[in-house]
Amino acid sequence: MLGTLYRYYERSLNNTDHIECYTVVRDAGHDAVRTCIGIGVPIFFYLEAVWLLAGVSVAAIFMHACVLSDSILGGLMAVLQYFANHSESTRVQWAPNERENFAMPFILLQCWLQSVQLRRKKTALLLLQ
């Protein structure tokens, strides 16, 4: 899916706004090397998508905690605990290419949506009594 997105946006990403290239001149006997950075480079596009999904995970944790606690403070405390235990919570900083980094945001969003649905159902049942 990321590859498809990259190919779709490749023409607009590979302009001077999204890519910056340098030529590194090495010692005698070695050829010069051209290196590029920016979101127009496929690996940087991939990594930016992984970091974006990690941010979606944090947002999903916040929303889920807000629903369960009925307060924004509960969401803030959950996010604070997530960052306090970041090395035990995720491995995105060491291994961004793992499947869990792509699945976890969607699993957390599904948990949040399930909690919202159950909360609505509980409220509706209480109103009927």
The domain spans of the chain are 2-128
Nearest-angstrom CA–CA distance, 8 and 14: 12
pLDDT value at residue 93: 72
CB atoms within 10 A of CB 61: 21
pLDDT, one tens digit per residue, over 15-55 is: 767 788 889 888 888 888 888 888 888 888 888 888 899 89
Nearest-angstrom CA–CA distance, 89 and 86: 5
Nearest-angstrom CA–CA distance, 37 and 39: 7
CB 50 within 8 A of CB 101: yes
pLDDT, one tens digit per residue, over 48-107 is: 888 899 899 999 999 999 999 999 999 999 999 988 987 777 777 777 777 777 888 999
User: What pTM, to 2 d.p., does this model score?
Assistant: 0.75
